[in-house]
Structure 1
Amino acid sequence: MKMPFSLGCNGRGVVHLEGTPISVDEQFSMIKSSGVYDHFDRMPQPGEEKEYIRAANKYGIPLRTGLWWYVSGRDEDLLEKNLRISKEAGTEFHDVMLHLCNAQGKIVSDDEIVAFYRHAYDLGARIGIEIGFENHIYMWSEDPRRITPIGQRLAREGLPFKFVLDHSHVLIKVDNVEEQDIIGIRNDVESGKLVIDPYEQGNVIDEWIENNWVHWLQVRPVSPNGPKNIWAIKNPNEYIGGAYGRPCQYPFTKPRPGEWHSQWHAYRLEPCKEVVRKMFKHHHLNRRSPLRYITTDMIDMADYGENAKYSLFDQNVAIAEWIRSTWDEISSQPLPQEATINKND
């Protein structure tokens, strides 16, 4: 069954082994040959804009989504530049990742977040491209307690909250006090004031889905209390989380001996799979669901798969195949007599 959303692959994951030279044309060829993707999730990289447009046309694989990271009070002009570049390349949706701290090095306030969102939304409307905000480590939204109040405030101010859900950045904090302490949520998690376990009632991911905010779902497996990337050494004075990469990526299929640094267990994937199933069930039952894009996001950076010996692209393809089969299974289930409508409608 054809999915009602576009499935893409993150550009940092269209490579087998990190550091292997690969051209833009080769990346598009890989995506096309896989037979499982509808688009390439990548903002045209600086200096290579024409190459991306040429390859997209050549292989019939559009650039529908892309992202960049921004600092409030510094990068407003950069945002406009990136939106125009993306629009020219045919991109439909731009993921705005807003840093935890503003240009003065202070934690960005709710007022600054809302102002940056409004600026991005207005720019997007003028240029002809949608924007969304993502929950992500190192960003204001790493603290899951901030997201619902921002979404509600935007609604009060007449702006739709277009949310990019990366559930991995919530699930790495499940049963992991070090990750909870990075953003200061341990007391609220332990008291039950904040629920991050996707199997428990009242959890924040369910809340975001049920509020009908999720326009783009990013799928990257992680494991509750999963292993750090001990093959990626970082400068602890520059990065949060110590000397090793944070636990933001767990292989979807079992690595062969020597391909990964830790033991692998299939059951550890289940929380991530459960969130995808919940998102699909919501979309199947809710005719107002705004979900339009899904991406697979096995990538190469230090907090993810840097120095891994497994194929990033093969892992992404395996996730994409699972996504398609899971949607087929869920969407084939008969709808109740009256399909669920968003509680806020």
Structure 2
Amino acid sequence: MTATPASQHPHRLHRLAMRVAGAAGMLLAGAVLAHTPAPPTPALVQPASTAPLTALSPGATTRAAPAARPATPAQRVQLPGEPGTPALNAYWFVPRGGNAPRTQPLPVVVALHGCGGLLGTRPEPIRVEAAANGGDSPSDAAAALQPRYREYAQWLIERGYAVLMPDSLSAHGRLQGCGDSPEARGMDERLRRADALAALRWVGRQRGIDAARIVLLGWSNGAQAVLATVDASRPWPANIPPVERAVAFYPACKRAVQQHNFRLRAPVLLMIGGADDWTPATRCAMLQSAVLARQPNARFRLEIYPGAYHGFDGTSELQGRRDTPGGGSRPGRGVTVGGDAVARVAAMAQLDSWLASPDP
């Protein structure tokens, strides 16, 4: 190796400071995650930036950087409910097959929005055109969604999943309902579970879909619906495909903790912020302990991200809210919501690895 001239060396004190900072950063990174023990997951090649993670075909353990491509459009479809209940609007994303015909059925993620709803506050206009299955044109229906849900859909599509996002609030309540009680919104756990089952039933009837590889994912109020849906103490309709695995971002675990016969019918990955004062992590830890006491072999993975608040996987700045029912863990004082860059990257890496694992 050719020696570098002395004139090109940084100042010794500067170089020492850089080394100390690097060592401190490594120690901090090692302390980011606090989680419960779980079986080993496949090795993950994690990019250094916070850009979207590399593409993944479900079931694979290696990743290759995705080629730049335009966003996959969504088609707006209707999901029939039980007799006497309104049909749900939903947004259906299917990965583009390129020039080669698709030979393998697609796994699916059914994603359940939080209490703020699926749609943006000022959605772009949607051009309505007839489509083969009775929905809107797939060219621009996704423009109606909140940006974070569009981003999640694209992240999942890059990993080979079709994605269905049902819109519960438009059918049953208001476009914005976080400030009301679930009873006032008409958005109780029973109703949201029925919506999830309607979405699963619809998915099971689609051609080219692998009904044995369905992931149920939700955020906040939607994550609570995920827990209610995979509760094995409740009957499962015969005409609905099973959930292979479930993902819950910061659910309110209080109701499930109080339900003394709550059990899991599918593996669950639950991710929550350690500082969450809206849906406290302590209740979810209690739920995990209770489930494992009843089902020692249940696969219930709990990831707690220290210092992160409700909505940590988003990109918005931290802010206080006082329009929340019950005031979270501090009645009368409001709650804190907002993104956490470190927790977001860690959670997406965990989700990526967990979805790819053949045995979560």
The bucket for the TM-score relative to the shorter chain is 0.3 to 0.5
Q: Give the TM-score normalised by the residue count of structure 1.
A: 0.39
Larger C-alpha radius of gyration, 1 or 2? Answer: 2
Q: Give the TM-score normalised by the residue count of structure 2.
A: 0.38
